[in-house]
Amino acid sequence: MTARTLAFGVGLAALLAGSGWAASSPPSTPASAPQTCTEQASDACYQGFVLPGQAGRMHFYASQAPQAENADGSGGPQTALLIMHGHPRDANRSFKAALDAARKAGRLETTLVIAPLYQVASDKAERCRTKGTPAPEPGDALWTCGSWLAGQNSQAGAGRTPISAIAALDALVAHIHQRWPSVRHITLAGFSAGGQMLQRSIGFAQQPPAAVSLRYVVADPGTWLYFDPPRPQPQRAGRDVDWAACSDGGCDYRMQLPQEASCPGYHDWKYGTQALPSSLGPTAAQARERYRQADIHYLEGALDNHAGKGTSYGALDKSCAAMLQGPFRRQRGEGYAAYVAQVLQPARPQPLSIVPGCAHDVACVLPSDAARPALFGSLP
């Protein structure tokens, strides 16, 4: 255990008290905090901040204590890894997966790990709560099980004004910059439903603070946001084939326009850029260009390609608009990568990595060797 890690535990309460931060409940002993916050989620790591516009508070797990108010940005972590939870809002499990990824990469001591939690009212969270998910606290911003992952607004009421899930993520990025001024690069990773929300946020997010660069890692989302109407048609040897032929890769893709009559609204938000919510801000054209310019990497579990055990197939979106993207997550990811290369043509490569041996499991995908270049490659 390093002196720096010990200082985290000993000075945690004083730092939080002086900065306006408050843990949900204090650690049992100061000495227990260092080990806990670099190994798994606990109350000692659960922090909150005030969202803009009287929208309430948002909480997140953090692996390191915030820096002092007068910190000059020297001596602290240069990079941060922010992981977005999936539909069960398993921020605790996602936090541990990100810690494991940083540890295996030899970056845990120099990387701030953050895992935000989009809160849902306790009486509405039965379908999207996993063991260990903290209950909302008075004054928290609240979404529904499905609204946050579509980038929609939080609920109004009880003195709170709505804020979009994307704007809340923007606020967290700004807060990281404020409370950890040493951080110069933030990798935002999202798994499953968190990957959906993150991928949709990229084109509509606010610009980060001037001193901070962003990378996005989108892992195993259920569906994708397309910026253009065509959708992928799989091929082998130059001939159209059924999606079933592409379960283990090896397909090429051509882009084609679906028949609108057979799938009305297939290009509406959140699958496309028609009928955009006004709360998003940028136009479809502006968002498309922002997405083209962004530093984005894609991850897909090699075994997230069927309806069997380990794929969370029951939670997979099977609407008409979703099925136009492919039958399963891996195929949808490979089809989207083809769309990016052929139609979107980004300013820099946006590579897709297939993670061997993993189905739909953040604890398998994120700490994998295949994910490491996306999460940590060519970073400070």
* 30-34, 75-79, 248-252, 261-265: the lowest-pLDDT one: 30-34
| pLDDT given for residue 35 in this prediction | 59
Q: How far apart are CA 61 and CA 40, in angstroms?
A: 9
Compute CA distances 235 → 240, 247, 305, 333, 340, whole Å: 4, 12, 17, 15, 17
Phi, psi of 302 (to 5 degrees): -60, -30
Name residue 89's amino acid: R
- Residue 324, classed as helix, strand or coil, is coil
Which residues contact residue 220 at a Cβ distance below 8 angstroms, ignoring those fewer than 6 apart? 191, 192, 195, 299, 300, 301, 304, 329, 333, 360, 365
Q: What are the distances in angstroms from CA 374 to CA 10, 24, 59, 136, 296? A: 34, 32, 26, 33, 8
Cα(278)–Cα(259) distance, integer angstroms: 27
Residue 301 amino acid letter: G
Contact criterion met (CB below 8 Å) for 21 and 38: no
Measured CA to CA, the distance from residue 190 to residue 220 in angstroms comes to: 8
pLDDT given for residue 19 in this prediction: 36
194 pairs with which residues across the strands?
A: none
Report pLDDT digits (tens) over 313-368. 999 999 999 999 999 999 999 999 999 999 999 999 999 999 999 999 999 999 99
DSSP annotation of 3: H
Determine the pLDDT at residue 379.
63
